[in-house]
Amino acid sequence: MLRYIVCLSVLTVCNAAVRASDVAANITIKNASFEAPTIDPNAFPAWPAIDDWIEPDLDAGSQNTGVFANTATGSEDHVANADGAQLAFLGSQRGNALEQDLAAIYRAGCEYRLTVAVGVSAQFPPSDVRPVDTIDLVLYYLDVNQPMDIVCLTIGAKGQSSTRLQDYTAVLATVRPGDAWAGKTIGVAIRATGTAGGFWDLDNVRLIELMSELDAIVNPSFESPAIDLTGFPVLPYMDGWRELDLDTLGSTNTGIFANTPADSWDHMANADGTQLAFLASATGNGLEQDLVAVYREGCSYRLTAAVGTSSRYPPSAEPPADTLVLALYYLDNNVPVDIVSQTIEPAGLFSRRLQDFSVYLPPVQADIVWAGKPIGIALRSVGEAGGFWDLDNVRLAESLPLIQE
């Protein structure tokens, strides 16, 4: 099988960090933690088949691939950090593998990171003496149903544990419009590359997509104007944003506030910078910004904001709950017209830790009305008076356009 392969020359790339200039989103992998089929606890604790995965196997119907139940806590072979109750096993001999063709495609302008938790069998570990048994983590694409490898990360058996899994990550650099895999189906694979006799333990397969951020939002973390910390730690206005306000200009429905010291009970632990924005919960209050950047033909967009709730006056979570709308819009005769929006509810949010929410706009078509128009971003309240949203770190990411073949 001819494959285009870019192999990473390192044996381990662990816990790769997401850059601050990227916006990440999880891509669905079916049966990612190998919980199906469910093993009968009263039967043999392993099964030689895995739902939703293609299982290339040296021996048809053999036991080179499958799922097994984790042993009870306290057992000498219990995997302490397994995700769920089951894991996968993979025979160490070259030719055994697990593969899955995803519903997602490789999008130009995006980077991809495939992470798998890896360990070794307690009873039959892969060989860690020369030649060391290895497995490959692979991202591939389909070319007329033929898998074509793009990147692979090789992992050796030496140093692996049978009771604690270790994360490894294969990274595909930013997809360019001219790349053969741009627009093609994403494939993920875990392949054995050693000799017979051992078994790998696998769990918690994850794939994230990262888009490059546009430096287009003015005052995205609400650091301007700087609050005088010797005075009152709140200002009822902010730079760069249009403040929609139910009351007269200068009211306290919108504005910025200084984060409290790290040891304070209401300190926002993961704020970006030293200031955040507040937005009153009643319908009619909002923050909007018309950017210089435009919606480019063929590009897709992801708007992300960090959201929390006021420690003293949170939005109401009782039905009908107050909500926050995150939106991308364009201007039609200077009137904002929403294209896509995401509704955020206060249930599950915190006053001391922000949570990221995103809204995604698919690739802009040439004949769509907003193509070439300035990008508009908005955060708007829908609810009753009395509560406040805490906002921070607004980001806009753009993917590159695909070249049509």
Query: 3-state SS of the chain?
Result: CCCCCEECCCCCCCCCCCCCCEEEEEECCCCCCCCCCCCCCCCCCEECCCCCCECCCCCCCCCCEEEEECCCCCCCCCCCCCCCCEEEEEECECCCEEEEEEEEECCCCEEEEEEEEEEECCCCCCCCCCCCCEEEEEEEEEECCEEEEEEEEEEECCCCCCCCCEEEEEEECCCCCCCCCCCCEEEEEEEECECCCCEEEEEEEEEEEEEEECCCCCCCCCCCCCCCCCCCCEECCCCCCEEECCCCCCCCCEEEEECCCCCCCCCCCCCCCCEEEEEECCCCCEEEEEEEEECCECCCEEEEEEEEECCCCCCCCCCCCCEEEEEEEEEECCEEEEEEEEEECCCCCCCCCCEEEEEEECCECCCCCCCCCEEEEEEEEECCCCCEEEEEEEEEEECCCCCCC
Strand partners, 199: 91
Contacts of 101 by beta carbon, 8 Å cutoff, 6+ apart? 54, 142, 185, 186, 187
Instruction: Return d(Cα 196, Cα 198) in angstroms, integer.
Output: 6
For the chain, the farthest-separated pair of C-alpha atoms sits apart, in whole angstroms, at: 76
pLDDT given for residue 11 in this prediction: 31
Strand partners, 203: 117
Two structure tokens written together for 183: 């627009």
pLDDT given for residue 149 in this prediction: 98
pLDDT given for residue 248 in this prediction: 58
295-348 pLDDT per residue, tens: 999 899 999 999 999 999 999 999 999 999 999 999 999 999 999 999 999 999
Instruction: Return d(Cα 104, Cα 82) in angstroms, integer.
Output: 26
pLDDT given for residue 250 in this prediction: 55
CA distances from residue 278 to 140, 235, 311, 331, 346 in whole angstroms, order as listed: 45, 10, 11, 25, 14
Two structure tokens written together for 152: 């692979």
Pairing state between β 97-105 and 234-235: unpaired
Our CA dihedral for 38, 41, 42, 45, rounded to 10 degrees, sits at: 80
Instruction: Return d(Cα 162, Cα 286) in angstroms, integer.
Output: 53
pLDDT given for residue 22 in this prediction: 62
Using the CB atoms, write b or e for 366-403: b if 16+ within 10 Å.
eeeebbebebbbbbbbbbeeebbbbbbbbbbbbbbbbe
pLDDT given for residue 249 in this prediction: 56
pLDDT-flagged residues of the chain (< 50): 1-20, 403-405
Start-to-end C-alpha separation, the chain: 24
Residue-range domains of the chain with CATH? 6-213 (2.60.120.260), 234-398 (2.60.120.260)
pLDDT given for residue 329 in this prediction: 98
pTM over 0.75: no
pLDDT given for residue 145 in this prediction: 84
Strand partners, 344: 324
28-49 pLDDT per residue, tens: 999 999 999 999 988 899 999 9
Two structure tokens written together for 219: 């005052």
pLDDT given for residue 294 in this prediction: 96
238-252 pLDDT per residue, tens: 999 999 987 755 578
Instruction: Return d(Cα 154, Cα 169) in angstroms, integer.
Output: 10
Two structure tokens written together for 303: 């708007």
Instruction: Return d(Cα 139, Cα 152) in angstroms, integer.
Output: 7
Strand partners, 101: 187
pLDDT given for residue 23 in this prediction: 67
Strand partners, 25: 209
Query: Taking the CB of residue 103, how many other CB atoms lie within 10 A of it?
Result: 10
